[in-house]
Amino acid sequence: MSEAAARKPRPRNAAATKALLLEAATAEFAEYGFAGARIDRIAERAGANKRLLYVYFGDKNQLFDAVVQEQTEAVLEAAPMDEGDLRAFAIARFDYMLANPDARRLAAWRAFEQTKPSDAERGAFRARIEAVEKAQRAGRIRTDIPAADLFAFVLRMTESWLSAPPALLAAGGGDPLSAKRIQQHRAALEAAVRSLVEQP
């Protein structure tokens, strides 16, 4: 019993433990991707026992799905697109990605891992494309490029700097991620999207 007394079991709180595990998993998957992520490391990050991970989430795949779903919803909510305003959408998405590096990296990983998209995610994209189409019909933005293509361009442009190849960032002078440089790029993004979407 001398040993047992030395242990310090964590206070019992299922919801809090589950949230800690999800948070730890988010960081782990963002850092290493799905294949590179380690279950033991996630449990350690969360300060929880590995077993609980299986109790709460099933297996590694389901845990990854849970992380992806939460992050996807957060990004979609953070960057809405009212009235097909691609410029506002781009800036909102850029700001969110700037504030949430894990979300940025998970988005990149997900593009790579090619998992089947959920109906909800597909629906969210469809709604955005339709909003762009509506703006086209209203004559607010150019019509010579299909709405889906226009949206795809803008989507990628929001990540152009923050997820640029390291070699590209290193090629320029100065610190590419200083607050000042980031603000400069943010202004560039706004100007670029404006030029891209306006009637030619």
Residues that bind a copy of itself (CB under 8 A): 32-36, 105, 107-118, 121-126, 129, 142, 144-146, 148-153, 155-157, 159-161, 163-168, 170-172, 176, 184-185, 188-189, 191-192, 195-196, 198, 200
Nearest to 149 by CA among 127, 162, 134, 132: 132
The nearer residue to DNA, 59 or 149, going by C-beta atoms, is 59
Contact status: 17 vs DNA (CB under 7 A): yes
The nearer residue to DNA, 1 or 179, going by C-beta atoms, is 1
Minimum CB distance to DNA, residue 65 (Å): 12
Minimum CB distance to a copy of itself, residue 50 (Å): 19
| Burial class, 148, CB count within 10 angstroms (exposed 0-12 / middle 13-18 / buried 19+) | middle
| Binding span for DNA by CB under 7 A among 5-13, 79-87, 94-102, 161-169 | 5-13
Question: How far apart, in whole angstroms, are the C-alpha atoms of residue 38 and residue 36?
Answer: 6
Backbone angles phi, psi at 165, to 5 degrees: -55, 135
Query: Which residues have CB under 8 Å from 64's CB, separation 6+?
Result: 25, 29, 34, 37
> Is 90 within 8 Å of 132 (Cβ atoms)?
no
Binding to DNA, residues 22-51 (CB under 7 A): 37-40, 48-51
Minimum CB distance to DNA, residue 179 (Å): 36
Name which of a copy of itself, DNA, none residue 20 binds, using a CB cut-off of 5 to 8 Å depending on partner kind. Answer: none
Contact status: 9 vs DNA (CB under 7 A): yes
Q: Tell me which residues touch DNA (CB under 7 A).
A: 4, 7, 9-14, 17, 37-40, 48-52, 54-55, 59-61
